[in-house]
Structure 1
Amino acid sequence: MNLFVLTGAGCSAESGLGTFRDTDGVWARFDPMKLATPEGFAADPDLVQAFYNARRRNTRAASPNAAHFALARLEAALERRGGSLFLCTQNIDDLHERAGSHNVVHMHGELLRARCLQCGAASPWQDDIGGDDVCPACRAAGTLRPHVVWFGEMPLYMHEIHDALEEADLFVAIGTSGSVYPAAGFVAAARQLGIRTCELNLDPSDNAGYFDERFYGPASETVPAWAGRLTAGPDAVV
């Protein structure tokens, strides 16, 4: 069985990392045009760096929750049986990796990397990014930005994502709003390919009607329960 899993902010919310589009989410409290666009960074790089420096510190302090660990266990179970789990995340934290997942694609970038505006290299970066910091790849100074996809920029790894979707037997969206494209369009693409679809979310997403199965509640509860049904009992498909 080849499984395609898309995760969003709801997967990390119980680890203390805020969602974005809820009524009390990040973009309800901060202006995304000032903090998450190339134009905002050009206008006030210090403000943008300070915002992402704070988020980087929050990410380092957070720990994976039961949903992250359940997906890592499911990946291992699939691999033992000759299958695969392609984990495409909209999240820029590293909680999937810290929980033990290996096949993770960050379509919106990674907060714990810094990208050089001069050479384009994305280097591991745990600390704050300062205006005079040097790129580890090309040694240029003052050229680093967060390695995150801002509004108006193209998501990463789209070819790999579409290839994995075409090979999938089941598409599952976990903790996503269903309102951010192109990720919100993956479920429609899966249906066109004849792939069964499943949603695990706190509440119905904007595109909930596209899913064949829907399970609602906290990710730390719904994801382990769903993964357990796939891997245990007489009706197990893994």
Structure 2
Amino acid sequence: MAAVTLFSKARSVLVLTGAGISAESGVPTFRGAGGLWRQFNATDLATPSAFARSPSLVWEFYHYRRELVRTKEPNKAHLALVEAEKRFEKEGKRFFIITQNVDGLHRRAGSRNLLEIHGNLFTTRCTSCGFIEENNDSPICEALRNRGLPNENGPEIAVTDLPSCRQCRSLVRPHIVWFGETLWPDVLEKIDEEINRCDLFLVVCRSFFSV
């Protein structure tokens, strides 16, 4: 009943979600049982230096994650947040989600007031001109077709065969915040704005870390 009272009185709700909400959809978490960082070394796959050293291996990892997420669907928690957003908007109230997840399941569920603070698996950024765009190609490039789990002992894909920029044809990277990087300035500003305007803050996650 206390939760119902809080929601009924709130004029602006801010929700923070993490890996736990997508675990119910079958998306692997990072540090839990079967988590990605229990299988792989993050410094080999999710840092700027790793990408500089082997963009082929890093793209194998993100291709694997992209294709895995394609097989998953938003779960009841994602859909419940969509319904809450609709109800609050109908009542003239504000409902906003900040997610640490990069799987895009909130968007697929239908959430509109959303900030993906660590980026999105299906967005790329050019390493040369900085062009950012959504990319839902499957596979993201022909050279990654039929590639599975990243294999550091496998054959390297030539940089010229990896995903490239539609504007300048240079190598692109996942538009993801990696270890050793900070959140983008506009994201930090938006987080600060939403925290200051909310009167109810709800946390729905198992872990405060996501890449």
Report if TM-score (shorter chain) is over 0.5.
yes
SS in 2 for 1:15: coil
Q: What is the letter of the counterpart of residue 56 of structure 2?
A: D
Instruction: Give percent identity, aligned residues only.
Output: 42
Q: Distance in 2 between matches of 1:53 and 1:110?
A: 13
Tell me the alpha carbon deviations over residues 165-224 of structure 1, each in whole angstroms, 9 at most, x when there is no partner: 00001111112314x39xxxxxxxxxxxxxxxxxxxxxxxxxxxxxxxxxxxxxxxxxxx
Instruction: Name structure 1 gaps, 5 residues minimum.
Output: 182-238
Q: Which residue of structure 1 aligns with residue 152 of structure 2?
A: none
Partner of residue 48, structure 2: 38
Any residues of structure 2 matched to 1:90-169 within 5 Å, and which? 90-127=100-137, 128-130=139-141, 131-132=159-160, 133-136=163-166, 138=167, 140-156=168-184, 157-169=187-199
Counterpart contact for 1:129–1:144, Cα < 8 Å: no
Supply the distance in 1 between the matched residues of 2:131 and 2:15 (Cα, whole angstroms): 27
CA contact (8 A) 1:129 1:145 kept: no
Q: Find the residue that maps to 1:112 and give its secondary structure.
A: strand
The offset of 1:121, in angstroms, is 1.9
Question: Using the alignment, how far apart are the partners of 1:45 and 1:176 within structure 2?
Answer: 30
Q: TM-score, normalised by structure 2?
A: 0.80
Structure-to-structure mapping, 1:219-230, within 5 angstroms: none
Structure 1 counterpart of 2:61, from 51, 59, 80: 51
TM-score, scaled relative to structure 1: 0.71
The equivalences for 1:17-36 within 5 A come to 17-36=27-46
Match of 1:174 in 2: 204
Residues 23 and 63 (structure 1 numbering): CA distance in 2 closer, same or farther, change over 3 Å? closer
Query: Cα deviation per residue 1:102-157 (whole Å; 9 max; x = unaligned)?
Result: 01111000101111111212211113444434312x2x224211111100111231
CA distance in 2, matches of 1:24, 1:134: 32
- 2:111 & 2:39 partners in 1: Cα distance? 32
Higher relative contact order (CA 8 A, sep 6+): 2
- SS of 2:108's equivalent in the other structure is helix
Residues 7-58 of structure 1 deviation map (CA, whole Å, 9 limit, x = unaligned): 0000101111100011431101100001000001111110000000010011
Cα distance in 2 for partners of 1:135, 1:19 equals 30
Q: CA RMSD in A?
A: 1.5
Q: 1 CA distance for matches of 2:206 and 2:169?
A: 37
CA distance in 1, matches of 2:61, 2:193: 34
Q: Which runs of 4+ in 1 moved over 6 A?
A: none
- CA shift for structure 1 position 4: 0.7
> For the Cα contact (< 8 Å) 2:47–2:180, is it kept in 1?
yes
- Does the CA-based 8 Å contact 1:118-1:143 persist in structure 2? yes
* Partner Cα distance (2:124, 2:14) in 1: 27
